[in-house]
Structure 1
Amino acid sequence: MQKKKTLRFVDVFAGCGGLSLGLSQAGCRGLFAVEKSPLAFATLKHNLVDNGKFKFDWPGWLPKKAMTCEELLANFSDEIGKLAGQVDLMVGGPPCQGFSTAGKRDPADPRNKMTEQYLSLVGLLNPQFIVIENVSGFDMEFENEVGLDALMDGAKEGSYAAYISQRLTAQGYKVTYGVVNCAEFGVPQNRYRLIMLCELPKNGKLSTVPNLFARLKSKAFGFRKSKALPTDSYVTASDAISDLEISGLELISCSDSDVAGFKEAPYDADIIFTSYQKIMRRGSLKNPPDSRRLPNHKAETIEYFKKVQSVCTPGTSLSVSQRREVGTKKHSTSVLGRNSPSPTITTLPDDIIHYAEPRILTVRENARLQSFPDWFSFKGKYTTGGKLRKFECPRYTQVGNAVPPLLAEAIGQLLIRRFNSVAKSRKRRAGSVKNKVKRLLENIKD
């Protein structure tokens, strides 16, 4: 029996590696990744390039360092072009700030231009599959139609998703997309993301390509079942992080803080309360995970958090009247619901308050809510602020920007099945043609 070919991928705008990790866990093989942030790239490199069982097959001509997609195209376009036919899948989510509903939706935002670089790479690599993940606002119309038309060069639809779909369709791809809640795939978080799944038919016939997005949605229940996760409900916040609570514990000095004076809770490797925690702890070899640094809250901050916990409806942001009651103008503050998935994890540490303890979450707790396993280490400083916030990608930001690995794993499983199915069909057709030629030659001899 012929051994199945491994699906090989490249990850663009890779962040700290959430998408690459999930694909690798599914059985795909990474070739290289592109990420401009040195801090985020250091995390990806440590976990998926230099260490562990998911090492990338990094090409010798490409430096293992942070770089932009623009730099990659400018310096290595010839080498990339030679990879055409060797890369089966290209993945990545262009930076979402330009089209996030949480910010100013500016069609002229230069970050949106990175989508063009992504499409240029598609043209060079010509992969069989493409996966793009982005915020749900990726498929919403901009108000500034004039600016959008200029940027899109005549695109008829008013969203970036429609624009990219048109561009990829013109290149021969069957494009399907829609919005999923990551909680459907076992992630303990109500995180809505647009997923675009594209396939370039080997026979050139779009009619033979299934709706990959519809297939992904249909696999959600079975994926949770395969992981022994709840199928009649979603994984909750307490399912994810109850083993990391600190109440009643004697705190110890933080083992990996870039600043002295911080504490962390001791980590008991034998405590596993839920099936989700079992998945998260698998492969950690009883070594305590990093990124468990607790905040040094002032007494008045703790009292403020207690007040927020007393008035806020768990899982939702403070209402206008509730913000007035607790004395804050911050719009995005919410409290975890113990028995429900977390709200969307963001890049700001103080957006979410613990369900039982008057504090913000640790990086590791956020990572758990994003479905990063405990063995996955985060590199660099914990936080940043002021003007540096636009340029640096500390641990909280890395986690908040990431694609949840469990969702990525489900996507990887889907594409591997399709990849093998297409390869099997091509082999069967090739065999059929060979037999026809053989019979024709035999008839000629006769």
Structure 2
Amino acid sequence: MIDLFSGCGGMTQGFVQEGFKPVLAVEFDQAAASTYAANFGEEHMYFGDILELPDAYIPEADIVIGGPPCQGFSNLGSKDVNDPRNKLWKEYIRVVRKARPQVFVLENVERFSKSTEFQMLLDEADGGMLAEYELRWRVLLAADYGVAQRRPRTILIGSRIGAIEPPAPTHSKDGLGGLIPWRTVRDRIDGLPAQPDLTELPDRVTECFGHQIAGAFTSEEIHIGRNPRPLSLQRYDHVPPGGGRFNLPTALQPNCWKNKAAGTTDVMGRMRWDAPSLTIRTEFFKPEKGQYLHPQWDPIDPSNRVNRVITHHEAARLQDFPDSFLWCGSKIQIARQIGNAVPVGLAAAVARQMRTAFKAPHEEVRATWNIRG
């Protein structure tokens, strides 16, 4: 497989778990590329701008996967149709045409499916650059595939070996109809130390792509806390599971919230133990950005409350990364990698769907795998 805009490798991790072998990955961000290299190898990573990726570097492969940058489509982004990042799906198509995979998988935010760019992409299958591929797409909810997170993603599958539908859900909220109940925050983070021992990453560097970068760090080493102000701790203490800024007494509300009586209901929110989390974004370490307070809260005993945001390790688990995964970069860079990743469990569900549809690999692809070890 080839992974474009690979980030730290969330999508690759899901596919590798299902038996796929990466032969090329492309990533522009040094910290994310270094994390990918620490887990999957540096030799097949093209660290650089995909616009500068030579055609000669692109091997044949059975599948191309990846998610072009989504900031231009995101509800939290500028929603600028002219954002140059919105055009990078055309580079994705360039690689597909060169690699000639049997199947490709393109993922993006939910809003992408309603964009002009998405319609242009669909048009390429109607006599355009993707004419030999049959396209199928759907917005999938990560919780429906065993991830303890309510995160919607647009998944588009292109196939030249017969139409392949996105995978059917394996989980549901109530576990009805023969499905498994959603996995919960408790399933993923219960048992981790309630009070992290560290607030900083270890002082360690590694070399990737000829440059030094912080890391690589284990999952245990990114279980790091913060040092909130006393005012912040007072605010956290008033928020029950599922609650948010509206649970704060007026005296503890900043003016921007006092003057905004509706909307942004999840900010300063506390997770629920027995439900999936909401979307883990890149700034999960800031409680004013979403529902990121630790779920432990006792309504009677204040001493039995955990008044902090989730740690990087807890966020990574909610994104379904295995504890064996290694991380490179600063605290902010690692948080960005975690929040931008495709949940591993969702990627694995898509990979299983692809595996059932594949024909035997081409002989030349087998040769490429042997050359690359």
TM-score by length of 2: 0.78
Distance 1:324 1:196 in 2: 46
1:369 matched to 2:318? The reply is yes
Which of the two has greater strand per residue? 2
Q: CA deviation at 1:293?
A: 1.1
1:240 matched to 2:180? The reply is no
1:304 matched to 2:235? The reply is yes
Which residue pairs with 2:32 in the alignment?
A: 40
Considering Cα pairs closer than 8 Å and 6+ residues apart, tell me whether 1 or 2 has the greater RCO: 2
Q: Which amino acid aligns with 2:186?
A: S
1:176 matched to 2:145? The reply is no
Which residue pairs with 1:128 in the alignment?
A: 102
Distance 2:122 2:203 in 1: 44
Distance 1:353 1:211, change over 3 A: same
Specify which of 300, 308, 325 is matched with residue 359 of structure 1.
308
Q: CA deviation at 1:421?
A: 7.8
Distance 1:17 1:79, change over 3 A: closer
Distance 2:360 2:97 in 1: 24
Q: Percent identity?
A: 27
Give yes or no for contact 1:139–1:161 (8 Å, CA) kept in 2.
yes
Q: Which amino acid aligns with 2:37?
A: K
Give yes or no for contact 2:72–2:80 (8 Å, CA) kept in 1.
yes
Give yes or no for contact 1:257–1:382 (8 Å, CA) kept in 2.
no
Give secondary structure in 1 for the equivalent of 2:154.
strand
Distance 1:366 1:301, change over 3 A: same
1:217 matched to 2:168? The reply is yes
Give yes or no for contact 2:24–2:46 (8 Å, CA) kept in 1.
no
Q: CA deviation at 1:97?
A: 0.6
Give yes or no for contact 2:219–2:313 (8 Å, CA) kept in 1.
no
Q: CA deviation at 1:252?
A: 3.6
Which residue pairs with 2:354 in the alignment?
A: 415
Give secondary structure in 2 for the equivalent of 1:243.
coil
Give secondary structure in 1 for the equivalent of 2:150.
coil
Which residue pairs with 1:293 in the alignment?
A: 224
Give yes or no for contact 2:197–2:225 (8 Å, CA) kept in 1.
no
1:69 matched to 2:9? The reply is no
Distance 1:288 1:190, change over 3 A: closer
Output aligned runs, 1:262-341, within 5 Å.
Answer: 289-307=220-238, 309-310=239-240, 313-314=242-243, 318=245, 326-328=252-254, 329=256, 331=264, 333=267, 334-341=269-276
State the Cα deviation string for residues 143-162 of structure 1 (Å, max 9, x = none).
xxxxxxxxxxxxxxxx3322
Which residue pairs with 1:161 in the alignment?
A: 118
Distance 1:15 1:140, change over 3 A: same
Q: CA deviation at 1:257?
A: 3.7
Distance 1:288 1:79 in 2: 33
Which residue pairs with 2:86 in the alignment?
A: 112
Distance 1:100 1:288, change over 3 A: closer
Output aligned runs, 1:399-414, within 5 Å.
Answer: 399-414=338-353
Worse overlay, 109-118 or 174-183 = 109-118
Give secondary structure in 1 for the equivalent of 2:87.
helix
Q: Which amino acid aligns with 2:231?
A: E
Give secondary structure in 2 for the equivalent of 1:30.
coil
Which residue pairs with 2:214 in the alignment?
A: none
Give yes or no for contact 1:12–1:118 (8 Å, CA) kept in 2.
yes
Give yes or no for contact 2:224–2:311 (8 Å, CA) kept in 1.
yes
Q: CA deviation at 1:324?
A: 6.1
Distance 1:399 1:253, change over 3 A: closer
Give secondary structure in 1 for the equivalent of 2:191.
helix
Give secondary structure in 1 for the equivalent of 2:190.
helix
Aligned residues: CA RMSD: 2.7
Which residue pairs with 1:267 in the alignment?
A: none
Q: Structure 2, unaligned stretches of length 5 or more?
A: 205-217, 258-263, 297-305, 363-373
Give yes or no for contact 1:236–1:341 (8 Å, CA) kept in 2.
yes
Which residue pairs with 1:282 in the alignment?
A: none
Q: CA deviation at 1:65?
A: 5.3
Which residue pairs with 1:347 in the alignment?
A: 282
Q: CA deviation at 1:124?
A: 1.5
Distance 1:19 1:196, change over 3 A: same
Which residue pairs with 1:198 in the alignment?
A: 158
Q: CA deviation at 1:323?
A: 9.2
Q: CA deviation at 1:133?
A: 0.9
Output aligned runs, 1:91-102, within 5 Å.
Answer: 91-102=65-76
Larger of the two Rg values belongs to structure: 1
1:10 matched to 2:2? The reply is yes
Distance 2:106 2:227 in 1: 38
Distance 1:417 1:340 in 2: 31
Distance 1:128 1:117, change over 3 A: same
Q: Which amino acid aligns with 1:181?
A: L
Q: Which amino acid aligns with 2:107?
A: E
Q: Which amino acid aligns with 2:48?
A: M
Distance 1:324 1:195 in 2: 43
Q: CA deviation at 1:370?
A: 0.4
Distance 2:252 2:158 in 1: 47
Q: CA deviation at 1:255?
A: 7.6
Distance 1:168 1:363, change over 3 A: farther
Give yes or no for contact 1:21–1:405 (8 Å, CA) kept in 2.
yes
State the Cα deviation string for residues 296-348 of structure 1 (Å, max 9, x = none).
222221112112x14x734xx646x8696741447351221111100100001
Give yes or no for contact 2:136–2:163 (8 Å, CA) kept in 1.
no
Distance 2:22 2:361 in 1: 20
Distance 1:124 1:243, change over 3 A: same
